[in-house]
Amino acid sequence: MSSYDHTQYQPFAFAPQKLYPSFTRTWPNREITRAPIWASVDLRDGNQSLIDPMTIEQKLTFFDTLLKCGFKEIEVGFPAAAQVEFDFMRRLIDENLIPDDVTVQVLVQAREHLIARTFESLEGCKQAVVHVYNSTSRVQRTKVFARSKDEIKQIAVEGAQLVKDYAARYPQTQWTYQYSPESFTQTEPDYAVEVCEAVCRVWQPETGQKVILNLPATVEATTPNVFADQVEYFCQNLASRKDVIISLHTHNDRGCAVAAAELGVMAGADRIEGTLFGNGERTGNMDIVTMALNLYSQGVDPELDFSRMGEIAQVVKACNNLPIHPRHPYVGELVFTAFSGSHQDAIKKSLEYDEREGSDHWDVAYLPIDPRDISRSYQDVVRINSQSGKGGVAYILKRDFGFDLPRWLQVDFSQVVQREAEDQARELSSDEILELFNRAFLSDSRIQINDYSAGKQGAQHTFSGEISLDDQTHAISGESNGPLSAFLAGIKSALGIDAQVVNFSEHALGQGSDAVAAAYLQLSVKGEVYSGIGTDTSTTYAMLKACTRALAKAI
């Protein structure tokens, strides 16, 4: 197919394992045991990718949300790029909105007039990261800038010197210098090391100057394992490695930004740049929420607070004017929702097991973390449609209305619910499920008990009373080895209906002396099985009501 020709693309060219026979990867044997340094770039990288960039007021709201999440490093903008960016930086400083333990970061190209404007915006700031960059990739060198490797490296060196010179004019600020070889993933690994080491010779991190070297997957170009190889090669071959912080900034062009960042940390990186929920250019930035909660699910403290996830999501959606996908990991509306019957049953049984047996650790089928940890509730976990099974339906009834259905009744009722969901061709709400439940098992019966007394004579139980069947009154009298069987003996005598109890279960709906009892009954009449439920403050009367409802279906 000429319009869909894969041969126009070439395999990735810069895999260290292929380029350098002496390179030995060690990262696959490592685990992530602590959180990296997190740096939010929502207000810069995320903002510049929006159709309608944020206003200053929106940025202030977002900034406050990032502070509440616990971010200590926040890239707030590109002050030299637009007046609104400059004004936002000044407002943060002039109104003293930056906490003492938070460092703001700004981005600037390696050009003097832009660097000068950037430092002007930062005057009076207590501590700041100045992030300078230039592109080093082969395609940018050749096709965009038409510069040699030496010329591109010289741009980086001159930019680093300008940052150092301008920083010296503002000695009251504690400066951290950051350099990014833009398009690191598409840069020859040895050349990336060469350029970054040349920058380090200007900044001299070994003297105590704080330096961050940021390795961006500006365009995600290969699989995460190869990116990890690139990071490890860089760390192994950079002479200044022990004196600098290695940072990663991954994009999501191949859908692997989180995986690349995680493997990059295993490969030696110290710091991760990303955005909340992954907003960013093209397919997005690395999603800090996902990576942080991945660590959390493994028992590692993410050192960020996402316990108010609902509030965080609302702010981000409002400021970005973008939705969050319903299947977004951890945060999407449906991620803790099970429609499948087998999933629902497994969740229900896991939760009941842990409630019964107790557990020191979260271990529930299909739920990697407890939804309550991020302000979600079990209301989100099980929802009912035509794919749902008995466990999910039973879970809804117990969770929302207190009815703890025995398994045999779960089977009966799930068929009722499934038929309704198929007829409606949609999800059913809790109230709709309760209505079906009432209609199937708790609706007014053709048989009403008008009056009764139950007693015991020796080993025998007795029942006497009066019932109405289709507006006709019948006296009932019987005895047997239990109150229910005595009632059924009276029914057989008066109406000629021979009914046998197949299953019976009961429990309290609530607590206390005035709690209502729920009785579940299954009768066999002429080889057919019928179910009924009764509720009342009297356990005996609840049982009798369940029996009359089951009998009414048999007549």
pLDDT digits (tens, 9 = 90+) for 382-439: 544 545 555 677 777 788 888 888 877 887 787 777 887 777 777 777 788 888 888 8
The top-scoring range by mean pLDDT among 121-135, 330-344, 486-500 is 121-135
**pLDDT level of residue 513 (50, 70, 90 thresholds):** low
Which pLDDT belongs to residue 433? 83
Average pLDDT of every residue of the chain: 90
Which pLDDT belongs to residue 201? 98
Mean pLDDT of 465-477: 86
How many C-beta atoms surround the C-beta of residue 448 within 10 A?
16
**pLDDT level of residue 548 (50, 70, 90 thresholds):** confident
Q: What percent of the residues of the chain are helix, what percent strand, and what percent coil, each to the nearest 5?
A: 45, 20, 35
pLDDT digits over 275-295, tens only?
Answer: 999 999 999 999 999 999 999
* Lowest pLDDT segment from 163-172, 303-312, 332-341, 352-361: 332-341
CATH of 447-554, picked from 3.30.565.10, 3.90.190.10, 1.10.3730.10, 3.30.160.270, is 3.30.160.270
C-alpha span between 384 and 404 (Å, rounded): 17
pLDDT digits over 188-206, tens only?
Answer: 999 999 999 999 999 999 9
Q: Is the pLDDT of residue 142 over 80?
A: yes
Please indicate whether residue 42 or residue 431 has the higher confidence score (pLDDT): 42
Domain positions in the chain are 36-320, 341-441, 447-554
Which pLDDT belongs to residue 521? 87
**pLDDT level of residue 356 (50, 70, 90 thresholds):** confident
The predicted model scores a pTM of 0.73
Q: Is the pLDDT of residue 31 over 80?
A: yes
Which residue intervals of 358-476 are DSSP H helices? 390-401, 407-424, 430-437
- Residue 141: DSSP 8-state: I
CATH 3.40.50.300 fits 36-320, yes or no: no
Listed as own residue / partner, the contacts of 483-486 with beta carbons closer than 8 Å and 24 or more positions apart are: 483/454, 483/540, 483/543, 484/521, 484/543, 484/544, 484/547, 485/461, 486/454, 486/460, 486/461, 486/462
The answer to whether residues 347 and 364 touch, using CB atoms and an 8 Å cutoff, is: yes
Q: Is 36-320's fold the same as 447-554's?
A: no
